[in-house]
């Protein structure tokens, strides 16, 4: 079984995108995904040999630290582009005019946050959603599906939609070895050739 690690909790965007990546590669039936609380924990699992690969969104606030801190033990072995799950500003129905917005810091610029007095950071979009469900937050940038699943409790105030992000796959064996590794027939490469 091929071992992958990515950021939890269950239902996180990282888990969702990792599942899509495994399906695209045709290994979803031969791979397991272990969810971790943080990427240092995931890196430790790769280095210890208890996992083979780690998937991280390039926009995640910890990405630069992970690349730098583990540069001699972990290597970027693949990259890809994937849309996120649909996002929205979701509010509790019992909150008429929320004064605070919970968000994962990478999502901050998806909306104009000046309308809220306080921004409350959470480690994941899933954590924002859980905070809405358990009443810790009145509003937050969360998965839009959450309001569909809990219409009696939550409403969508502003639909954001999906965001295309770059994703990094780490492994313990380098693939670049000083060379450029790229997809020469990618959609962007094809467009460049048409333009040139």
Among 102, 98, 89, CA closest to 146: 89
CATH (residue range 87-161):
3.40.190.10
* Strands 2-7 and 164-171, sheet pairing: unpaired
Helix (H) or strand (E) holding 33: strand 31-36
**Which superfamily, per CATH, for 2-84+163-195?**
Periplasmic binding protein-like II (3.40.190.10)
Q: Where are the domains of the chain?
A: 2-84+163-195, 87-161
Q: In terms of DSSP bridges, do strands 164-171 and 75-83 run parallel, antiparallel, or are they unpaired?
A: antiparallel
Pairing state between β 118-121 and 100-103: parallel
2-84+163-195 and 87-161 share one fold: yes
Residue 184: count of CB within 10 angstroms of its CB: 8
The pLDDT profile of the chain, 196 residues, written as one tens digit per residue, is 999 999 999 999 999 999 999 999 999 999 999 999 999 999 999 999 999 999 999 999 899 999 999 999 999 999 999 999 999 999 999 999 999 999 999 899 999 999 999 999 998 899 999 999 999 999 999 999 999 999 999 999 999 999 999 999 999 999 999 999 999 999 999 999 999 7
Take residue 56 and report the two structure tokens written for it.
Answer: 């991280």
What would the two tokens of residue 174 be?
């380098």
pTM passes above 0.85: yes
Sign of CA pseudo-dihedral 163, 164, 165, 170: positive
């Amino acid at each position: 079984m091929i071992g992958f690690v990515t950021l939890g909790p269950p239902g996180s965007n990282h888990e969702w995108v990792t599942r899509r990546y495994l399906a695209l590669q045709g290994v979803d039936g031969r791979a397991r995904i272990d969810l971790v609380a943080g990427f240092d924990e995931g890196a430790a699992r790769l280095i210890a040999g208890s996992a083979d690969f780690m998937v991280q969104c390039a926009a995640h606030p910890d990405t630069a630290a992970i690349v730098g801190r583990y540069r001699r033990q972990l290597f970027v072995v693949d990259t890809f582009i994937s849309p996120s799950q649909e996002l929205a500003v979701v509010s509790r129905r019992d909150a008429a005019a929320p004064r605070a917005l919970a968000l994962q810091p990478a999502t901050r610029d998806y909306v104009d946050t000046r309308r809220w007095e306080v921004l409350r950071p959470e480690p994941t979009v899933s954590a924002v959603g859980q905070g809405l469900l358990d009443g810790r937050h009145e509003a937050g940038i969360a998965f839009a599906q959450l309001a569909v699943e809990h219409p009696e409790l939550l409403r969508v105030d502003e639909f954001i939609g999906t965001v295309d992000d770059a994703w990094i796959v780490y492994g313990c064996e380098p693939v670049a070895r000083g060379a450029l590794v790229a997809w020469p027939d990618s959609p962007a490469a094809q467009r460049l050739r048409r333009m040139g």
